[in-house]
Structure 1
Amino acid sequence: MKKNDAGFLRHFQPYLALDRAIWMIAFARFIIAGGTFVLPVYALILTQKLSLSPADAGMMVFIVSIGGMIGSVLGGYLADTFNRLALMAISEGFSAVCVIIAGLFAHDVLSVIFIALSSLALGIMRPAMRAALLSLCSTTSESKRYALSLSYLAFNVGHAVGPLIAGFLLLDFYQWLYWGDAATTLIAAYLLASLIKKTTGRKPKADKKTSQESIERSTEHDAQDNVSKPDKTQIALFLAVNICVSFCYAQITFTLPLQMAESFSDDGARYYGLILMINAFAVLGLTTVLTSLTAKTHPIKNLMFAICGYGAGYVMIGFMPILLVMGFVILIITASEILEVTNGDAYLCELVPESHLGRYVSFSVIANNAGIALCPLLMGFAIESIGLSWAWSLVGIVTVFTLLCLGFMLKRAEKIPLQL
């Protein structure tokens, strides 16, 4: 029994070895996700509270989304120019102020302007947060994956709570929906600001378990940061893969609920909620274990496993839309998501020097958003053209293309040993 316990607990040991600042950033992300009350229900706010038509509400949501994308572009550049933690704290603070003002105009369309500004600030914060997280890690690719895994886990735990509270506030305490959102954002900003002095000038340390050879490679890599040029071909392929992977994952919020409605009629919404619950529990149960099991595998290979999981899972749903099959498939899809999140930016970090990390992370964020945006556009057209069941084959085609890109990337990457 003790041996089994020790074997299970070893999956958590690398997390305990992470820098305290990484834990604080992850905790701040948990607070941000758990306190994001406005955006998850913003379409309902616009239609129910501000009495906008669905078309007008869609336009307002689009404007808010554009604010976030512009923020990501700005954030990438600013993250390479200024202190990343300071940038995060200021962005969060500005976002909170905008949401407070939006709460004062909660019954007026004018509030949309301040929500868009808040989205802009959050967009600036995201690449800075990812870049800060990666730069605070030790010199190994393995530690970066654990840091991303911890951040991902924190976000999902918070995200499981936020929309639930938001739904309650929307019904009975509408303005507090805004002010509660702002309050949690200010708490996160304070936590991030408290780290600025503690991390300024600090350089990543090598893990205790890191081999001497790996340390030497890492030191050489750091020394060349200022003179080496990013591998633009590999980065371009990575961004293309990012778009495709995000397109595949986004099926869970667009095509999957349509499939549930077609397969189970009135019970579709209830069963879809059940599937999302399985997804949430799977994230909590699988993240640490999968990260530990795949930590020493090349990140591109892990991304290949992820895209295979997406492709196989969604095609199975298309041709076997049975509830039991869907429950099993969502576990595969969740595992694929975990592998993608914990390996994507960790590999990107190996391709670019530290001085350019912020802007390239912002490209990654934009690629993610592009893939998510393409999902309803392409799948909607496919569903109208060839029907829902066959539309899933489009995901299969995207999967094959992505695997080809990853295979080419792996061949190129093998010429330069990765830090593990």
Structure 2
Amino acid sequence: MRTVRGWFRDTTGGLPRSFWYLWTGTLINRLGSFVLVFLAIYLTQERHFSASQAGLVIGMWGVGGAVGTTIGGTLTDRWGRRPTLLTAQIGAAALMVALGLARPLWAVALGALLLGAFAEMARPAFGAMMVDVVPEKDRLRAFSLNYWAINLGFACAAVLAGVAAQAGYLLLFLVDAATTVITALIIFARVGETRSVPTGPVVKGAGAPAGALRTILTDRVFLGFVTLNLFAALVFLQHISMLPIAMGDAGLSPATYGSVIALNGVLIVVGQLFVPKLIKGRSRSHVLALAALVMGVGFGLTAFAEAAWFYGLTVLIWTVGEMLNSPSNATLIAELSPGALRGRYQGVFSLSWQIAGAAAPILGGLVREHVGNTALWLGCAVIGGAMAVAHLLSGPARERRAAQLRSPAAPARPVTVVQPPAPEAGEAAAIAPAEPLRASS
């Protein structure tokens, strides 16, 4: 009993109260994340769109998300974390209802485009806010706890959505919108602006918003890491595009696919809280390399799966890789992001997921159609192995870059110093809220 109590204290203790407000917002939001889970079914069965039309609508969501993360990153740094997050969530809630009421294909596609933009606009602000309020030594635990909440909420949402759909699909949109509004209200009531305004010399290229795009585009270490994440996402997202098709070809029902893929959420909910202690103090590059290798093995074994239990085993294997990857990824992105450009860096990183979301089903389908199912999954294994090597080779440069950003005396690249104007009266007080917070979208 003492061991369990000590583990619980080590896992959850010492985090800012504001983090727990954001964690609660994440859980509530994800508990109501009905629409994306059932959108394809809604479009084809309720709205009677063809598979290609449904694909178009979902693709528009992805395009909107790519635009949203870019805009959200810029607004997060220029306008602030809190107003960006609130605007994105209130806009997403309104568009959620509008999408549920839309009838013509053009209206549904437009609604999906705008909803994707507003929903994803919140991500950079949310990620930046979490980094702002959680001390560096606690970020691994905090990101793991948030990831746990996301998966717990999502797993419950999949079950609840099936029940709610029996009462009508519009209810899915309404409940999803309501939970988004509740999250926004929590932030409005309990979270202040966490963006800091420099009081000393501003370092262009290492922290000043001026020249932000050029700073990111010339940050080869960061872009290299984003590229690796893009390849990881291309492999990982095959589980929602090509995996159900492969299982169908093996004679397994959609219900079986649902049960098999549910193992992903169950394992994360049960095991994710133990991951921070497991990887604490270990080289992040080694952890990320192991994660890539395990994920590659899991997806690669799918080439030999025929029975449901074998598919379930592959899901459990690549889920372990996902669990190792997520917290290390999040903490590293936080350390590679200069403070004044944190929102933009989060936006570029999120953009890699949006690109993968659009490209993964297309590339997976082309490989499967022209080369075969076995080649697709073995290709995923090869990518995982190549990523593992790349993480080992690029790790030292990433850690040097992170160390440079932690040390103001050692900037990462040549800089120009500009003396900023003095803040107006009352501005400093507005910067630091009594209770900083971490949010979710």
| TM-score bin (small chain) | 0.7 to 0.9
Query: Does residue 351 of structure 1 match 2:340?
Result: no
Secondary structure of the residue that 2:57 maps to in structure 1? helix
Cα shift at 1:322: 4.7
Q: Deviations over 1:350-402 (max 9, x none)?
A: 12211111111111111122233332222222222332123212112212331
Q: Equivalent residue for 1:69?
A: 66
Using the TM superposition, name which of 379-388 and 302-311 deviates more. 379-388
> Do 1:11 and 1:292's aligned partners in 2 also have CA atoms closer than 8 Å?
no
Q: Equivalent residue for 2:436?
A: none
Amino acid across the alignment from 2:188: A
Distance 1:32 1:54 in 2: 28
Matched ranges for 1:87-102 at <5 A: 87-102=84-99
Q: Equivalent residue for 2:111?
A: 114
Secondary structure of the residue that 1:51 maps to in structure 2? coil
Sort the Cα spacing of 1:374 and 1:154 in 2 relative to 1 into closer, same or farther, 3 A: same
> Do 2:73 and 2:121's aligned partners in 1 also have CA atoms closer than 8 Å?
yes
Query: Does residue 152 of structure 1 match 2:147?
Result: yes
Aligned structure 1 segments of 4 or more residues deviating by more than 6 angstroms: 200-203, 227-231
Distance 2:398 2:97 in 1: 48
Cα shift at 1:186: 0.8
Cα shift at 1:70: 0.6
Using the TM superposition, name which of 192-201 and 152-161 deviates more. 192-201
Matched ranges for 1:338-377 at <5 A: 338-377=323-362
Gaps of 5+ in 2: 210-214, 407-441
The count of corresponding residues between Structure 1 and Structure 2 is 392
Matched ranges for 1:18-417 at <5 A: 18-103=15-100, 105-109=101-105, 110-140=107-137, 143-197=138-192, 226=207, 232-263=219-250, 265=251, 267-413=252-398, 415=400
Sort the Cα spacing of 1:169 and 1:392 in 2 relative to 1 into closer, same or farther, 3 A: same
Q: Equivalent residue for 1:219?
A: none
Q: Which has the higher contact order (CA 8 A, sep 6+)?
A: 2
Among all aligned residue pairs of Structure 1 and Structure 2, give the percentage whose two residues are the same amino acid. Answer: 22
> Do 1:35 and 1:181's aligned partners in 2 also have CA atoms closer than 8 Å?
yes
Distance 1:262 1:399 in 2: 25
Sort the Cα spacing of 1:188 and 1:312 in 2 relative to 1 into closer, same or farther, 3 A: same
Distance 1:11 1:76 in 2: 34
Distance 1:12 1:258 in 2: 44
Using the TM superposition, name which of 341-350 and 322-331 deviates more. 322-331
Amino acid across the alignment from 1:298: S
Cα shift at 1:310: 0.8
TM-score, normalised to structure 1, is 0.84
Distance 2:136 2:143 in 1: 14
Distance 1:38 1:47 in 2: 14
Q: Deviations over 1:256-278 (max 9, x none)?
A: 22332333x1x343432232222
**RMSD after superposition:** 2.8
TM-score, normalised to structure 2, is 0.81
> Do 1:50 and 1:108's aligned partners in 2 also have CA atoms closer than 8 Å?
no
Cα shift at 1:250: 1.3
Distance 1:87 1:262 in 2: 45
Using the TM superposition, name which of 232-241 and 32-41 deviates more. 32-41
Q: Equivalent residue for 2:414?
A: none
Query: Does residue 16 of structure 1 match 2:1?
Result: no
Distance 2:377 2:178 in 1: 42
